[in-house]
Amino acid sequence: MLTGIGLVLLLGYLGGKIAAKLELPPLIGMLVVGVLAGPYVFNVLDSDLLLVSQDIRTFALIIILLRAGLGIKKEEIKKVGLIALKMSIIPCILEGFTVMGLAYYLLGFSLSEAGMLGFIIAAVSPAVVVPSMLELKKERYGEDKQIPTLLLTGTSIDDVIAITFFTFFVGMETQSVDQSLFKNLLSIPFNILAGVFLGAVIAFGLIYLFSIMSEKYIEKLIILLSLTIIFVKWGDYTGIASLLGVMTIGFLLLEKIPDQSKRFSKRLHGLWLFLQILLFALVGAEVDVTKALDAGVSGVAIIIIGLVARSLGVWLVTMGSELKVKERIFCMIAYTPKATVQAAIGAIPLALGVEQGATILALAVLSIVLTAPLGALGIYSSAPRLLHKTR
């Protein structure tokens, strides 16, 4: 497996450099390398590495969300709080039910199959959006309106909404979950609040622990990472919004122990330079291009119409806000990439024996192929044109 990791790092690094030379976001090169090296094209990656791919990708997500929390100040949260909450709910629901309706009427899916597809597709990708927004914060784009912070916060909750609805429709299909839609909807705010609350408990525990420890920042960082990993994995089992809790941990550490937090952030940035290659290359390795092609023109049309519905949701949410038209357009562009959730749960309906499981997987893969590179390119290319750069 070590050989496989070395190969992924080397090829992913080269892919990122080539993309940068072509004035494209490096993650596009890493994604392409993953697709080519993965089991569905040249199949040069170690099978053992692919078995632990999900855990590696989860660890990379923990790092970028912790970095995101360590970069958000209380004043920024106050400024975007309500609109961030609306951004995380309305666009996702509009896209999910739009895709659901199209699958039901055009593809002949059952209601539960259409619902599963709708909310697999609806989830926006933190793997693409979060590092992009951190880069924009670093470059000071949109900081006057806290646009990167708005999108960072909204993205993490967006996935909670999508996965909750997906779980409901899986239960409707398999009849293994005896819950009403109403109960599932009630679980959404509970899961979000539980994630934030438990993240806060962990953060204050760490703050106390760090106050009685010597100035050994590497040891403190090890403890921080260990607890966040355990927290996220526990959240996977319980359904709480643990990824949002990770951001909460970073946010509170920055608020209460800013000097130490800046040192943590600097070391995590170095770790991220290594992990981003693994993250995007391994996401690319999950992409079966033949299944994407199987989805055909109708699949492309469904995904595009779903994105239009999501963009309409973003437009409606930002009406009456202080954002200018071009800034609202940027938010629409930044909310298009799919990758993380689709790669993680796209195959679940097929594994459960759902009749349309193969088609659902094909459309999930197609959504990654279409939106991850184009969405990333759209974010990086449009930011200088649509956002104000603070000096």
HSE-up of 53 (CA within 13 Å, CB side)? 25
Task: Name the band, by pLDDT with cuts 50, 70 and 90, for residue 179.
Answer: low
Angle at 8 between CA 6 and CA 11, to 5 degrees: 105
In this structure, is residue 9 part of a structural domain? no
Among 177-181, 290-294, 316-320, the minimum mean pLDDT is found in 177-181
> What pLDDT shows up at residue 184?
65
Q: What is the mean pLDDT of residues 139-160?
A: 89
Report the percentage of the chain scoring pLDDT > 90.
Answer: 48
Task: Name the band, by pLDDT with cuts 50, 70 and 90, for residue 161.
Answer: confident
In this structure, is residue 27 part of a structural domain? no
Task: Name the band, by pLDDT with cuts 50, 70 and 90, for residue 215.
Answer: confident
Q: What is the mean pLDDT of residues 129-151?
A: 91
Give the CATH number of the domain where residue 137 resides: 1.20.1530.20
Q: What is the mean pLDDT of residues 224-237?
A: 92
> What pLDDT shows up at residue 250?
94
The most confident of the ranges 134-143, 161-170, 339-348 is 134-143
**Total domains in the fold of the chain:** 1
pLDDT, one tens digit per residue, over 108-131 is: 999 999 999 999 999 998 888 989
Of residues 313 and 178, more confidence is placed in 313
Query: At residue 177, does pLDDT exceed 60?
Result: no
In this structure, is residue 369 part of a structural domain? yes
Q: 296: phi > 0 → left, psi -120 to 50 → alpha, else beta; which?
A: left
> What pLDDT shows up at residue 79?
78
Q: What is the mean pLDDT of residues 42-54?
A: 86
Task: Name the band, by pLDDT with cuts 50, 70 and 90, for residue 175.
Answer: low
In this structure, is residue 15 part of a structural domain? no
In this structure, is residue 45 part of a structural domain? no
Collapsing DSSP states into helix, strand and coil, what is residue 1?
Answer: coil
Task: Name the band, by pLDDT with cuts 50, 70 and 90, for residue 235.
Answer: confident
State the average pLDDT for the chain.
88
What whole-number distance in Å separates Cα of residue 191 and Cα of residue 25? 34
Q: What is the mean pLDDT of residues 23-30?
A: 86
What whole-number distance in Å separates Cα of residue 247 and Cα of residue 72? 9
Residue 127's domain comprises: 54-386
pLDDT, one tens digit per residue, over 251-282 is: 999 999 999 999 999 999 889 888 889 988 88
Task: Name the band, by pLDDT with cuts 50, 70 and 90, for residue 180.
Answer: low
> What pLDDT shows up at residue 217?
85
In this structure, is residue 109 part of a structural domain? yes
| Inter-helix orientation angle 258-285/126-139, to 10° | 140
> What pLDDT shows up at residue 185?
66
What whole-number distance in Å separates Cα of residue 227 and Cα of residue 181? 33
| Burial readout 210-247 (b: 16 or more C-beta within 10 A, e: otherwise) | beeeeeebeebbeebbebbeebbeebeeebbbbbbbbb
In this structure, is residue 43 part of a structural domain? no
> What pLDDT shows up at residue 36?
93
Query: At residue 198, does pLDDT exceed 60?
Result: yes
- Give 319: exposed, middle or buried? Use CB within 10 Å, 0-12, 13-18, 19+: exposed
Instruction: Kindly report the pTM of this predicted structure.
Output: 0.84
> What pLDDT shows up at residue 100?
96
